[in-house]
Structure 1
Amino acid sequence: MKYVVATILLFGCGESGRPAEDEHDHGGDAHEEHGAETHREEGMVSLTEIQLANADLQYSTLDTLNISGFVKTNGILDLPPQNIAAVSAPMDGFVKKVNYLVGDYVKKGAVLAVLEHMDYIKLQEEYLNVINNLEYLESEYERQRQLDSAQVTAKKQFQAASVAYKSALTRKKALEKQLQYMGLSPKSIAAGEISGSIAIRAPLSGYITALNVHNGAFVQSQEEIYELVDTDHMHLELNVFEQDINKIKIGQLILFTVPGLGEERYRGSVFLIGKSFDRDSKTVKVHGHIEEEHHEFLRGLYVEAKIYSGDEHMAALPEESIVNDQGQSYVFVLVKDIEEHENEEHHHAEGHSEAVEDHGITFRRVPVGTGIKDQGYVQIKQIADLPHGSQFVTKGAYYLYSEMKKGEGGHHHH
């Protein structure tokens, strides 16, 4: 399918709205050579860099859309267990300082809170006593061992020295583990550095979703101080009714919205299908992976989803790509994608392409036939024979349309 094309050049800085026939005073030779009224089946519009910046255009190739049937479902955004951490104190203590609040992002190892208690000092004191006594017990053990080997001393004395030394050694190792668990350094304590406080650190990088203490509060070791979540691996937990579960297969496309965050549609796929049936809700859990990371997602937010249960596809573009004019639907295509494909149109207008290159990017309006609408997309049933990979304007089509109308000076005819 070939088109006869007239180019309408638009200029920034207040001139974009002037009729094409007024441009000859500013060197618009291309317009004089191609009378704006002669070829109106197809419109072309060129934007300057300033206009492009204002237009905020977006482009895409033709998408394919699955229309072979879907299962409607709902559920929540959730996280795997390893991405959720409940943070508690290793020992009872008083809260000396709270460093972060709900909503804050922290990196692994960050100090969330500082606790203090006399028991921390007692534990370190005990460790110092053990390591100080260990040197004597070790030398006594060695002395008794040598005497025993020479059969100079009684067996009982050697056994007692051995038990005392090994018990102290075991106690030293146990205390070291306990101190490390509390975040204290046995090496520093052995060097005489004793601390009355301990730091509670983040076990993973993520967002704080719960805080249950304040300065001065007494917390017990079994209490949760903070909850942290790493949102990098958010997934879908969907509830599929029993009559639909036989339609669901691993790998199927999921398109979903998060009503709490707006109307944007996101993509995912079926990853796991539950093996248990909830008798109360009559549903089976379906676990879905989400394409890309969306840091605005929050655990527990409600989602509405469609799981596409077949593989029939159609060509489609977002609804805002389509411009309607007197009953005809149009889309805009980047001219650089079709110049080679329709070379003959450019040969009969030699000054044309040169003028286009001088004034930013040029777009052609192309008529299309549309079909059904779904998921914010429109089926493209009929379109000109364009090269594979042509770029369509998916955002800002009406801006281009209005600029083209300005350039035509109201003389467009169907």
Structure 2
Amino acid sequence: MDKARLMPILIVIAVGVILGGLILILDKPAGVGVKMTDTHAHEKSAEDQISTGPRGGKLFIDHDFSIELTIFEKGVPPQFRVYLYEKGKLLPPTSAAVAITLTRLGAPAQLFRFTPEADYLLGDQIVEEPHSFDLAIAAEHDGKLMRWSHSQIEGRVEIPDEMLKSMGIELLTAEPAIIKPKLRLPGEVIFNEHNIVRVVPRVPGVVTTVHGHHGQQVKKGDVLAIIESPMLADLRSQYSVAKKRLTLTKKTYEREKQLWEEKISAQQEFLLAEELWNEAQIALELAATKLRALGVQPESGFMRANITQYEIRAPISGIIIAKAVARGEVLKEDSEIYTVADVSTVWTAVTVYPKDLNVIRVGQKVAVKATAYDVESEGMVTYISTLIGGQTRTATARVELDNAEGKWRPGMFVNAELVAEEIAVPVAVSVHAIQTFHDWSVVFGRYDQYFEVRPLKLGRSDGEMVEVLEGFVHGEQYAGGNSFALKAELGKASATHDH
């Protein structure tokens, strides 16, 4: 392998070795010495060696070499970027190895490793908010090891313990809690639209018998009405003719096949008989399909004397809620003559006001109570309308109820109450402790003599406690009542979001 191709590989290996050494140095506890052959370690104080770099970051200088540390967060989560300089001139990112240890109040240290990216070194982790921390920076360039330290404070205020009581600040602890959301909304019982079927004859004819009547309970397959249909008679006749033709062509085919095999007749006669038999099979299947499409079994018409008779049957089990048929009436094939509803389940149309839309959700359990008498059941929200009514200015939530006992009747007015479900959450804080800081929802965590903001990702709430999804852990202390006083103290100190 020639030198030109070997050189990049050697550079990558060398950078990896150097970075490993820096990580070992930053992982060493205080007071432990570190020796590196042919290197000179220099640790500089933040006050004497930090200024602002060309890209607006913190510039750490050691003689002719310097690094600029920035936190980039435009369109991406906050991340460290390091630019390298020698005598003020930008160096390639591969010319030095850098590692940073970040420590913040109440959290374990983070070790940031860096890899070359464009003209800078990119950190391998997100720099979480707030950007209030202590940094230990190590860089290796041309065999020389340099170290700096830097502190950055944001959203922090010092309050001694003896001042807490006078300020009315109560210390609370983040811990598991039971969230109990409650909401009461009006509604009305309606049919389950998924279980309503409209019955049509599918063939024209004259009604001869009516069995189904309004309000009647029927089972699937029950005969609702009988009509006489010339169209059905014609289809049954076509099936009968096709069946007889199939029998005849099959016999002819078998005979011609035998004669051809005995070399008595020509092959052409055998092939013609085979073609006619196949056509007869197709014709019979077509005639049978037309009858099945009407819900009629092909052989059923020949078991009764009147082949024009057509039975209209219930498609599902349920109650007949609409009837539009009478004996002697002439029906078209698309006439809606019955409507059957399965009421084993019903819906409750719940009125949801705009202010409550962020509380109710699909899958949430709901207690439904009748307003007229003592009937109560539990259901689940299966749908929430996406549009607000133009006149009512409300949305509709659908709650499905089991009605196997028949106690719910469409048209009943009800009250739907979100079940006071005990939702156990691993970490929760008091709603009254939540403040706003830099457009974040925060609490003020307590660390020794200091309070510092902690941005939170919040979950469910019942108005007293709120679930913490991210940003705070079990056992951490925070400011409860009168926490706004700490926000006022930050304003006095003119805290800035300094990156």
TM-score by length of 2: 0.43
Q: Which runs of 5+ in 1 are unaligned?
A: 1-65, 314-414
Match of 1:290 in 2: 401
8 Å CA contact retained: 2:367, 2:419: no
8 Å CA contact retained: 1:94, 1:116: yes
8 Å CA contact retained: 2:242, 2:287: no
Q: Does 1:272 align with 2:385?
A: no
Query: Using a 3 Å threshold, how does the CA distance of structure 1 residues 129 and 147 change in structure 2: closer, same or farther?
Result: same
Larger radius of gyration: 2
1:109-160 CA distance string (max 9 Å, x none):
2111010022322222222221112112112233444566678766665454
Residue type matched to 2:228 in 1?
E
How big is the shift at 1:243?
Answer: 1.9
8 Å CA contact retained: 1:108, 1:205: yes
Residue type matched to 1:288 in 2?
V
Match of 1:375 in 2: none
Query: Using a 3 Å threshold, how does the CA distance of structure 1 residues 291 and 123 change in structure 2: closer, same or farther?
Result: closer
Residue type matched to 2:287 in 1?
L
Determine which structure has the larger helix proportion and give its number: 1
Q: Which runs of 5+ in 2 are unaligned?
A: 1-178, 424-499
Query: Using a 3 Å threshold, how does the CA distance of structure 1 residues 117 and 291 change in structure 2: closer, same or farther?
Result: closer
Query: Partner of 2:358: helix, strand, or coil?
Result: helix
8 Å CA contact retained: 1:77, 1:297: no
Match of 1:74 in 2: 187
How big is the shift at 1:75?
Answer: 4.0
8 Å CA contact retained: 1:248, 1:309: no
8 Å CA contact retained: 2:344, 2:402: no
Match of 1:130 in 2: 242
**Paired residues, number:** 243
Match of 1:228 in 2: 340
How big is the shift at 1:200?
Answer: 0.8
**What CA RMSD, in Å, does the superposition of the two structures yield over aligned residues?**
3.2
Residue type matched to 2:397 in 1?
V
8 Å CA contact retained: 1:76, 1:237: yes
1:378-397 map, 5 Å: none
Q: Does 1:94 align with 2:202?
A: no
Pairing partner for 1:251 from 349, 357, 364 = 364
Query: Partner of 1:142: helix, strand, or coil?
Result: helix
How big is the shift at 1:189?
Answer: 4.6
Match of 1:173 in 2: 285
1:366-390 CA distance string (max 9 Å, x none):
xxxxxxxxxxxxxxxxxxxxxxxxx
Higher relative contact order structure (alpha carbons within 8 Å, sequence separation ≥ 6): 1
Percent identical residues: 21
Question: CA–CA distance in 2 between the matches of 1:152 and 1:86?
Answer: 62
Query: Using a 3 Å threshold, how does the CA distance of structure 1 residues 130 and 308 change in structure 2: closer, same or farther?
Result: closer
8 Å CA contact retained: 2:321, 2:340: yes
Query: Using a 3 Å threshold, how does the CA distance of structure 1 residues 158 and 274 change in structure 2: closer, same or farther?
Result: farther
Residue type matched to 1:173 in 2?
E
Question: CA–CA distance in 1 between the matches of 2:233 and 2:201?
Answer: 16
How big is the shift at 1:233?
Answer: 1.1
Match of 1:214 in 2: 326
